[in-house]
A and B are shown apart, each in its own frame.
Chain A
């Protein structure tokens, strides 16, 4: 496995690779009131991935690999968003050993919108509401068994979600 030198500690790679069940127990006990503004060197929060502009850079930053499209990833998003500010998008999958799910909006200023850690015992299915600046591809990434799979859908946006 190639370790991408982006400043993240190897421990983070371990977490994302699915040894997460044990590591995440520790996460749950962190006293949040003591945590400074999260931007500080806290490798739990993938800050660089959120700063990446393109979806390719964001995926690379977040996972260090590339995804292959899979029809086992089911992405639910509207044809035309009623309003770009609140677009309900969900993903579910029949793949096994899912450790992470992420959502990207390619035409947003920063492609990565949200990333979820799925510990063992949690179902590989997430529903959320995202902002879309304009008509764009929405990409769902599922990390399963150490590999990345994706599904893409174009969502039309007529009323932009970034306050326009």
Chain B
């Protein structure tokens, strides 16, 4: 089963730019389905990025983050070929993790 996490990490010498797209409904709990029943909230709460065992970015998300959420940031350092570890946890306790190579 394919991971829900897509990452592009590119190093340009001094800094590494990271873009991530996660497959997740990010249901806000404000939308009703065709039957008129509220679709319960179901969204990623925390998304973390680690390089060399150290956290380089933490996203705390609420239900107002778009479906199939996207985030972009940069950090100093990061070499081509090194690993970047990404994990998320949602409000139902589900998780996913992926490791991406810095290009």
Q: Give me the interface of A with B, judged by CB distance under 8 Å.
A: 24-25, 27-29, 32-33, 35-39, 44-46, 50, 85-87, 90, 105, 108-110, 112-119, 121-123, 125-132, 161-163
Contacts and interface: CB of A to CB of B under 8 A. Distances in A.
A10 to B, nearest CB: 19
Contacts of B28: 131, 162-163
Judged by DSSP, the binding face of B is: strand
A39 B40 CA distance: 15
Interface size class of B (residues with CB under 8 A): 35 or more
Given A25-B54, A121-B76, A114 B31 contact: no
Interface of B: 15, 28, 30-32, 45-46, 48, 50, 53-67, 69-77, 87-93, 95, 97
A153 to B, nearest CB: 16
Contacts of B64: 105, 108, 110, 112-114, 130-132
B62 A163 contact: no
A45 to B, nearest CB: 5
A131 to B, nearest CB: 5
A32 B66 contact: no
B30 A162 contact: yes
